[in-house]
Chains A and B, each alone.
Chain A
Amino acid sequence: MQQPGRAAEIKANGIGKSFGSFRALDNLTLDIGRGEFLTLLGPSGSGKTTFLMILAGFVQPSEGKLFSDGVDITNRPAEQRAAGMVFQGYALFPHMSVEQNIAFPLKVRKKSAAEIKNLVGEMIERVGLKGHEKKLPAQLSGGQQQRVALARALVFEPGVLLLDEPFSALDKSLRGQMQAEMKRLHQETGTTFVFVTHDQSEALALSSRVAIFNHGKLLQVGRPDEVYNRPTNRFVAEFLGEINMLPVKGVRPADNGATGLCEDRAVNMRCKAEAIKGDAILAIRPEDMSIAPEAFANQNGIAATAVASTYLGAATKLDLTTRQGAKVTVSVPNEVAAAALSKGNSVWLTWPAEKGFLLPDGGQ
């Protein structure tokens, strides 16, 4: 983080943090690659913000070590780490104009007046704040304040940019716009971005990798499609979006994956069954299930009854109950849903073998 102008590579090794008897972060080991866009995702109190504050140097870890480009920075104070940081609520200097806010980190670094003028002007242009240079933060809209915060955090070319729920105060349309802008800034600067959010769609849309936290533990880290399609545990599966959970019995390895009994019917899974044997949970995303008029041999499927529907415009969300009482939600074309409901009785739920994945029974 100490070398401006190039992206930093960060290693967290066994980082833990306790506040009194509260365990905020437990034995976290994580490598953050040069120039990657890593999102820390989790509900509030999951430890993601604590980890960000440890990266920034505002919070001292109770144990573990932190390395930046191979150098131990665990005990280095925040002002010497000089990670760019965007706070929730922006934390702009209220008594300074847009220009002065952005110039602040450059002045601290004793850059020449000409250089400051150049860099600040360039940055203002880049984040689209031309014409607002002399305004105070209080005279700007939320989106504009957000841009000032981003410009201020990036203008000194930090090795890493830390973002703490930066979009939580923006309305939905502005949020989308700022997300796109941030993605562009990431590509343009090539800096390592570490982004904290509790919004799973934001995490999936923006990141090169997502790290999911719960109760102070890092549960899984991977590319957005990996964590969405192949979650390793129930919490991750449920946190990343709606998911159906069906109990399967007698799971054992089979050709091309695993097989087991779901609602007394044999079902096939493409995932490996080495780690999971016996009873397990079969998880399938609603958009991966479809409705068929009748059962076909050697295709995964169970019988269910449609009970309710929610019209979503492009598709309809259909709630069903299986014969053994499990609740299932599927996302299907509108006319399919209408037909299923009008029949008022049993339909057949199917899914491709590669779309279902196994999770350990019961536990998180």
Chain B
Amino acid sequence: MRGPLSDRMGAALLMAPLLLFLILAYAWPFLGVVKWSFTLPTPGLGQYHALLTDDLVQSVFIRTLRIAAIVTVVSVTAAYAITVVWVRGSPVQRVLAEFCILVPFWISVLTRAFGWVALLSNRGLINTWLQSVGFISEPLTLVRNEFGVIVGMSHFLIPFAVFPLASAMRSLDERVLLAARGLGSSRMRTFWTVFVPMTRSGIIGSALITFVFSLGFFVTPAILGGGRSVMIAELIYLRIFQSPDWGLGAAISVVLVVFVGALMALLFRYVKPKQLV
């Protein structure tokens, strides 16, 4: 992959505007946020101390980690099944799987969140159908709670979880699977003892990407959680725009960025960037 020096210089030059943009529009303003976290309302470590002692902040952190973990398990599991069909299915199955993976990218996150509200709410499609066929007498609470948030976020993240898995499954040597079957292993056994372990790097990559994305979710939990299932991003928004507590909001942001940065570092220890696409 390594071309002559001039080629690499060319590539670096082409990447330069992106780097510049990130510095000006992201890194520089973020330094301002870091500054607030140490100076507002009074200089010192007061906001970080509050962060460690405030029950509300702590419960939001724990909820965020819990939701992110559940969403990760749900998304990676569902994505694994879809990816197996996409990579190894018949031609018709492949087209269908590809369609299911790509279509969500064309619909805005807002539209999808409201779509789930329409499906899950008390007078939504699912509840009215279940009631009309007599399975339930009272509507189930499917939205404006953690369940709704998990459904909406998983739906959003499954396509992202697919790509690292697909890359791992595509690079797998077909002959190893044949070898397993030739040695007497059933298809099921081959799947669990050979196929799944051999796609381990894809599973790690997929899980970390999903988890990191989940931590910063804002719109989906705000709409589907209905204020009852606040996650970190929404808490930051509330601290900055509704209760003018910029210092605490900034401190939470800094902690989130550091945490996500650490996870990304972990991700790239296990997975090469090109395995993620």
Contact = CB atoms under 8 A, between A and B. Distances in A.
Contacts of B186: 79
B8 interface: no
B182 interface: yes
A156 interface: yes
B12 interface: no
Contacts, number: 68
Contacts of B179: 85, 87, 91-93
B176 A156 contact: no
A57 B183 CA distance: 11
B170 interface: no
Given A93-B194, A95-B198, A95-B200, A104 B183 contact: yes
Interface string A277-298: 0000000000000000000000
A266 to B, nearest CB: 57
A78 B200 contact: no
A17 interface: no
Nearest to B199: A95
A120 to B, nearest CB: 13
Given A91-B176, A93-B176, A105 B197 contact: no
B173 to A, nearest CB: 6
B39 interface: no
Given A87-B175, A91-B176, A94-B176, A79 B198 contact: no
Interface string A73-117: 000011111111101110111110000000011001100000000
Given A87-B178, A91-B178, A94-B198, A105 B173 contact: no
B180 interface: yes
A56 interface: yes
B181 interface: yes
A91 B173 CA distance: 8
A147 to B, nearest CB: 15
Contacts of A156: 183-184
A104 B185 contact: yes
Given A91-B175, A108-B189, A83 B182 contact: yes
Contacts of A84: 182-183
A11 interface: no
Given A93-B194, A95-B197, A95-B198, A79 B176 contact: no
Interface string B192-211: 01100110100000000000
Given A89-B173, A95-B200, A78 B194 contact: no
A108 B182 CA distance: 11
Contact of A89 (B175, B181, B183, B198): B175
Contact of A108 (B178, B183, B197, B198): B183
A311 B26 CA distance: 73
A35 to B, nearest CB: 20
A193 to B, nearest CB: 15
A229 B194 CA distance: 47
B181 A79 contact: yes
Nearest to B182: A85
A10 B40 CA distance: 85
Contacts of A162: 182
Most chain B CB within 10 A, of A57, A81, A91, A105, is at: A91
A152 interface: yes
Interface in A130-145: none
A307 B26 CA distance: 79
A205 to B, nearest CB: 26
Contacts of A153: 183
Contacts of A81: 182
A81 B183 CA distance: 9
A41 B197 CA distance: 36
Nearest to A164: B175
Contacts of B183: 82, 84-85, 104-105, 108, 152-153, 156
A250 B175 CA distance: 54
Given A89-B173, A104-B180, 16 more contacts: A56-B182, A58-B182, A78-B181, A79-B182, A79-B186, A85-B183, A87-B175, A87-B178, A91-B179, A93-B180, A95-B198, A95-B200, A104-B185, A105-B184, A108-B183, A108-B184
Interface of A: 56-58, 77-85, 87-89, 91-95, 104-105, 108-109, 152-153, 156, 162
24 contacts: A77-B181, A79-B181, A79-B185, A80-B184, A82-B183, A84-B183, A85-B178, A85-B179, A87-B175, A87-B178, A87-B179, A89-B173, A89-B175, A91-B175, A92-B179, A93-B176, A93-B179, A93-B180, A94-B176, A94-B198, A104-B180, A104-B183, A108-B184, A152-B183
